[in-house]
Amino acid sequence: MKNKHKFDGLYQIGCIINIAMNSIALAIFGFLFLFTVFPLLLLFGNDTGNDGGANIIGGFVVLIFMLILMLVYSVLSIISIVFSAKELKSKSTSRYVVNGVFGIITNLIGGILILCAEKEADTTSPVKIETKEETKIE
């Protein structure tokens, strides 16, 4: 019998923390985009300096790098939120490894709680195997 993890306790708290922290991160990235990246794009687009466009090129490289990092982290956060929400809705622990790994990548606390969840106790009785020599219990 495959050992399953307990849903109540650390696993459930890890899923809730995972959803909350990733939602906060997505909100911060949204405000960061609205109040820093978008105005900088407008500012660099209107640059009329005599430096041959070096400020524009350097600014766009930094902005593109920021946007790529924000996009990758946002996609990972959304995936983590979806897995955690599915686990909470179905009250199962079938995807605990995937949920825990995405939780560790996006926010450390929720992923660690998910992966450190207790396993359910095995309540099956031992099976007796009888042979000619002796009886073994496994």
- What are the sequence ranges of the domains in the chain? 10-120
Contacts (Cβ under 8 Å, ≥6 apart) of 25: 73, 77, 106, 107
> pLDDT: is 83 or 137 the higher one?
83
Q: What is the pLDDT of residue 1?
A: 42
Token duo for residue 130: 């009888």
Q: What is the pLDDT of residues 3-48, one digit of tens each?
A: 466 667 788 888 899 999 999 999 998 888 888 777 776 766 665 6
- pLDDT band, residue 64 (cuts 50/70/90): confident
Residue 128 phi/psi, 5° resolution?
A: -95, 130
- pLDDT band, residue 133 (cuts 50/70/90): low
pLDDT at 125 over 70: no
Q: What is the pLDDT of residue 20?
A: 93
In angstroms, the CA 96 to CA 113 distance is: 11
What would the mean pLDDT of 95-117 be, rounded to a whole number?
A: 84
At residue 9, the 3 state secondary structure works out as coil
The predicted model scores a pTM of 0.69
